[in-house]
Structure 1
Amino acid sequence: MHFTINGQSHDIDVDVRTSLLDLCREHLGLTGSKKGCDHGQCGACTMLVNGRRINSCLSLAVMHQDDEITTIEGLGQVGDLHPLQDAFVRHDGYQCGYCTPGQICSAVGMLDEASKGWPSHVSADLSDVELSDEEISERMSGNLCRCAAYPNIVDAIREVAGKGNRDPNAEVGREVAA
């Protein structure tokens, strides 16, 4: 099978039952994306496929031949971080770091969705999506953080989105963690 992952071509013989996550981790040594629940419930395995975020633990690798796949390793490098990676570091948007690669990949996809005007469940105005704290929390609700770094994650995303700092009175993450 042929895959393009992080801009590099890979021709690899792999069992058709192999998930995209296992292909990257076990066959290509791309261990940034994590296997959390292996049921699509935690988001630790989030990758971008053709710019869209997916839970790679639920997706068979064979389904993504010739797609453009981006893992956390493809977003930035040491000394040249992606803006979201940099913001996560500066805002302490991680604690143990296990969920961080999935959080960042999901945030990249989420910001692209919002820039295209895609509404979420809590979008008040479907013609003009505003990235409020509630909106960011809803859009990131598929990515869980057991350490509860949600306010810092939202701050990092708000900064990259150009929306300034979080409302200090907002209750961010409560509905995400529930």
Structure 2
Amino acid sequence: MKSKSSLTCGECRTLLPGYIGRELSREARARVASHIDTCDACYGVYLQQRAVTGELRQLLPAIGQAETPRLESIWSAVQTGLSQPRVSPLQKDPTRFGIAALIIAAAVLLPWLINQQRLVLSLPLPPTPVALAVLSQETEAVITSATAEGNSVSVNTEYVSMAATPPAQPNYSPVIQIGATDAP
């Protein structure tokens, strides 16, 4: 039934649990109260829900009404748990982290080191210079060549004058002249 208030019976009945539990705003409570005063059907539903709520509060006092000391003890336990610093597994045992880092570094570097060793072993050794003879003066050499054509053989002999190879500078370093400049 529609009354003077702005609520319908369906709206009033959905707001009744909040009205009984005092969870509605003052304006909403006033609208529900004025509807209950004018509607006998909603007033009957209100009385029924209020009776059920009262019985539940008597039979089960813990529902909806927590004991204050118990809540305070729970809250203090939560606060002490939050205030304590958390220790990470790395802070408990840093040797695990060090060993793991060493294993990872070895796994990354080992193939590179093995390939580098193979590269060094696969390169040929550079030739070592050996002095065959030391020439201190000019010498002459005889070069003979022979060619055969058919039944005849021709022999060609040449005399070549060769100068001695100049001695090498130590460590292949450039000659430093005192007083020399780069300017022309």
Is the structural similarity TM-score above 0.5? no
For this structure pair, what is the TM-score category when the shorter chain's length is used for normalisation? under 0.3
User: TM-score by structure 1 length?
Assistant: 0.19
Which protein has the bigger helix share? 2
Larger Rg: 2
- Structure with higher RCO (Cα < 8 A, 6+ apart): 1
